[in-house]
Structure 1
Amino acid sequence: MKEITSIQNPYVKNLLKLQEKARERRKQELFIIEGKREISLAISANYEFDTILFYPDLISENEILHLFNENVNRIIISKEVYQKLAYRGSTEGVIAITKAKDFSLKNILFQTTNPLILVAEGVEKPGNIGALLRTADAANVDAVFIANPKSDLYNANIIRSSVGCVFTNQIATGTSEDVIAFLQEKNINIYAATLQNSNEYHQEKYTESTAIVVGTEATGLTDLWREAATQNIKIPMQGQIDSMNVSVSAAIILFEAKRQRNFKK
């Protein structure tokens, strides 16, 4: 089995590029996953793996490597290399170099006739995207669409803040125009979270095919969504501010949709 002990190794330098630059991830169609839980979730989501690196003082070969087929490269790394590559302080000694998936809308398949979808437009902060993906997983939505994406979904911050939910959700990205066209073609009702011309969110019914659309706290949704919406909706605020974190807003509306759907059964 191959072993790498120096941080000056060209392969290690390339992995650092993959960590730091979305351009390199797109070019090489590879990204990095750290930690047993995140790697296990990616395995369950049928991701393909290129290489597994492990630091034997923290994890044994038998703990994780049996999960991968023999075609996956295995490399032992030194403490110095592991500390250089590890994005987090506690990732249990294992790092996976993983093949990226295509997040095109054309790859979306619904298993139900009345899907529930979360759409997030223009959300930039990786922590917010990660929180949205966690919310979507908790609500067991049928898909998450990122419209006008500002961050690469394989950004280490997104993987970390989503606690691996970037792998548990069915995800697609595209322009707002493309996402709207997809939803309209599938006859999916669009409920856009915005203050303009809105009803309170709990007054609407979400038991049919539904897309809940949220935007950034700073600028909200673009006019495209407000005009394409079946209905604009808002969460009534009872304090002195007029907005909440985007993932909190999404959770409130999504779980109202789930409540209605569960009640209908």
Structure 2
Amino acid sequence: MPLSAVISSSLNPRFRSALALREGRERRRAGRILIDGQREIERALEAGVRPVEAFVDPDRLSESWLEAQAEHLGRDGVELVMVSPRLLGRLSYGDRDTGLVLVAEPPTRTLDELTLPDVPLIGVVEGVEKPGNLGAILRTADGAGLSALLVADAATDLFNPNVIRASLGTVFTVPLAVGTAHAVLAWLRDRSIRIVSARVDAAREHTETDLTGQVAIVLGSEARGLSTVWSGPDVTDVRVPMLGVADSLNVSATAAILFYEALRQRRAVGAPGGRSVR
């Protein structure tokens, strides 16, 4: 494949534009994100994410994985921008060393654009602030086969590099939509989806609650828990039992317990999981 001249100066405008995407404010302004890491890149491309350009270390193009990705991207008309290893390292998050960083448009979906199965299992997170927690919840949602994850009153950038990394790229594969807490609640009610909220002071334990059928499991922020929006006669509060001195688990741990309890119950009665039951 024809190669462009290698960019080696950090003052190069193209490199500087890409580097700026390490910051959330610039990602929002430009409507672009950075994707690196072998699994993350593969999952993004398999999910239909469209790169607008690809930064490549030309010294590593003989490596089989990078060569295959570069050929695939080139066939799709994505421009390959050659940069020195030093500059590529500045674009990468952490210690990533795959020789490739993509600039892409973030996949976005409104609530009304979601397509659900007949008996959906939905996760809802309200105001979760830490990217690592959101990424871990996405990874669990993928593993438990949830139909969708809804982010209410988003408090962190969904495509923060740490979200992408902690999710192992499942941020691109789990059906995802964002809205205000009021909008998400109204959307669930309009579809007659039962709402189960995780609260430390709930009277009922999570194993005592029916999580089969159309269900949304709602979790709150790390510091404040759920807002009063998620209160009402049609909302079932549950708690994970805590037998020590701490009154709650990390939100991602709570999500794992509740999502997999829902999967266990649904399998036990032969009901659908979320997307599928393996």
**TM-score, structure 1 normalization:** 0.94
Give the share of equivalent positions with the same residue, in percent.
37
Counterpart residue number, 1:9: 12
Instruction: Give me the whole-angstrom Cα distance separating, in 2, the residues matched to 1:56 and 1:172.
Output: 37
Greater shift, 181-190 or 29-38, is seen at: 29-38
Instruction: Give me the whole-angstrom Cα distance separating, in 1, the residues matched to 2:37 and 2:61.
Output: 10
Structure 2 unaligned runs (5+)?
271-278
Which of 130, 145, 151 is the equivalent residue of 1:146?
A: 151
**Superposition deviation, residue 18 in structure 1:** 1.1
Counterpart residue number, 1:205: 210
Where does 1:172-251 land on structure 2 (aligned, <5 Å)?
172-227=177-232, 229-251=234-256
What secondary structure does 2:184 align onto? helix
**Superposition deviation, residue 59 in structure 1:** 4.4
Matched, 1:126 2:158: no
Q: How many residues align?
A: 263
Where does 1:60-99 land on structure 2 (aligned, <5 Å)?
60=62, 62-68=67-73, 69-99=75-105
Q: What is the letter of the counterpart of residue 237 of structure 1?
A: M
**Superposition deviation, residue 256 in structure 1:** 0.9
What secondary structure does 2:231 align onto? helix
Matched, 1:105 2:104: no
Instruction: Give me the whole-angstrom Cα distance separating, in 2, the residues matched to 1:144 and 1:35.
Output: 23
Instruction: Give me the whole-angstrom Cα distance separating, in 1, the residues matched to 2:11 and 2:40.
Output: 27
**Superposition deviation, residue 75 in structure 1:** 1.2
Counterpart residue number, 1:156: 161
Counterpart residue number, 2:175: 170
Structure 1 unaligned runs (5+)?
none
Matched, 1:262 2:267: yes
Instruction: Give me the whole-angstrom Cα distance separating, in 2, the residues matched to 1:192 and 1:45.
Output: 30
What secondary structure does 1:227 align onto? coil
What secondary structure does 2:159 align onto? coil
What secondary structure does 1:53 align onto? strand
- Is the Cα contact below 8 Å between 1:6 and 1:80 reproduced in 2? no
What secondary structure does 1:154 align onto? coil
Where does 1:10-25 land on structure 2 (aligned, <5 Å)?
10-20=13-23, 22-25=24-27
Counterpart residue number, 1:135: 140
**Superposition deviation, residue 228 in structure 1:** 6.4
> Which structure is higher in strand share?
1
What secondary structure does 1:97 align onto? strand
Instruction: Give me the whole-angstrom Cα distance separating, in 2, the residues matched to 1:49 and 1:171.
Output: 19
Q: What is the letter of the counterpart of residue 52 of structure 1?
A: A
Q: What is the letter of the counterpart of residue 178 of structure 2?
A: T
Greater shift, 85-94 or 185-194, is seen at: 85-94
